[in-house]
Amino acid sequence: MKVIICGAGQVGANIAHYLAQEGNHVTVVDQSPDLIRRLSDRLDVQAIVGHASSPPILERAGAADADMIVAVTLSDEVNMVACQVAHSLFSVPTKVARVRRQAYLSPIWADLFSRDNMPIDVIISPEIEVARAIVRRLVVPGAFEMIPMADGLVRVIGVTCRADCPIVNTPLRQLTGLFPDLNIEVIAIIRGGRAIIPDSLDQMLPGDDVYFVTEESHVARAMAAFGHEEPEVRRIIVIGGGNIGLCLAEEIEHEHPGMTVRIIESDPHRAEHVAQQLSRTTVLKGSGLDPEVLAEANVHLAEVVVAVTSNDEVNVLSSVLAKHYGAKRAVSLFNQNTYAPLVNSSLNIDAAVSPRAITASTILQHVRRGRIRAVHSLRDGFAELIEAEALETSSLVNNAVRNIPLPPGVIIGALVRDRAVIIARPNTIVKPHDRVILLARAESVRKIEKLFAVRLEFF
């Protein structure tokens, strides 16, 4: 696949990294010589210094025979024009643009991105995607990650094993015997910064971060099995009233009437603007690092504090401070990876949110080939969580899971058949049109794409 990425910032570099390591032909365009030099030094990509929406620059980047353009520069307008030029002059089949300004995304202007006006196939709003990702973590108390798959029928949960976890030091093959009525499959263990795709003999240890697959109706019981029975989230404090904080409050107001939000915003003008946009959210003017402001927000009663300012250090310190003053859990946004290894072990922050990883996951769904319906990147790209449809011609079909020649580093977690969830066991048979939920290490994703591709004999 030939992909042009406009923008060599964090998101663009992340996408380039994913695609280049899979052998795709990637060209990155950016106006910054420093960013281009750094990217070309560490990735096997073609890197061009220039304006991303310039026809000569796009021509030089190979737009005439490109399969996709992904425009993720810091300018919404450049992203939109780059996609327009790619369509009108070069007939690029798939066009993806990051659009951050919410005014462009208002429903009353929905026709703007129609094929007759500005033909962009996929619009990515990082603020909205990040807000939704945070809300997903809030609805499962105790989880550091929650990813819905298969129209919400399946949940992939990330949870930390504490010393009092009932199932630590237990081989995974024994879990079915211990919990015969619990549909759960452990698909990844993160231990000391190292990712493990487990087999039946592996066991979970205190301090491990674990990803498991379960059906939606079993989430509460599965969390209890891991020793997490935290109370339902009702009182939330959001530190930072920027675009992400505002989107988060709007999402909660519209979708979760049982939750209440208080926003702490240091800029008085921004605080007034946010207050005008929301109907049942309290906005406090002040710093999340001020104990008096935290006390005014009733931090000691909050089930969760979410720090989403544009400053990673403020997010870290305000999260730690909020927990010190009584908040039950803390979720912190990190634009850089500097603090991520310290989240659980040293900083006592319960969950980290990475805008670049979330945005990359959203874009990858439209890059993946074959009958792939959904993609989520885990832990800065060590693996991808994939939902794909098994067609009649796939080698998976009519085989038991134990007999399927899966690539190394791949584990099947669940199947969805006629809206019924089947947790994958060694003797589970894959049928045509099953939706398969699996985890694949980055180096095996390309093989998974081929495994689910439509073959000639299908037609």
Q: Are 390 and 397 in contact (CB under 8 A)?
A: yes
What rounded mean pLDDT belongs to the chain? 89
Per-residue pLDDT tens for 384-419? 899 999 988 888 899 999 999 888 999 999 999 999
Q: Are 68 and 44 in contact (CB under 8 A)?
A: no
* Per-residue pLDDT, 229: 86
Confidence class for position 383, pLDDT limits 50, 70, 90 = confident
For residue 247, is pLDDT > 90? yes
* Per-residue pLDDT, 459: 31
| CA max distance for the chain | 69
* Per-residue pLDDT, 360: 79
Q: Which amino acid is at 342?
A: L
Cα 6 → chain centroid: 21
Integer Cα distance of 342 and 333 in angstroms: 13
* Residue 4: CB atoms within 10 Å: 28
Burial 400-428 (b: 16+ CB within 10 A, else e): ebeebebeebbbbbbbbeeeebbbbeeeb
| Polymer length of the chain | 459
Residues 187-210: what's their mean pLDDT?
91
Per-residue pLDDT tens for 341-368? 666 666 788 888 988 888 878 887 777 7
Task: List the domains of the chain with CATH numbers.
Answer: 2-124 (3.40.50.720), 235-358 (3.40.50.720), 363-458 (3.30.70.1450)
Bridge partners of residue 237, in order along the sequence:
262, 305
- Which position has the higher pLDDT, 83 or 183? 83
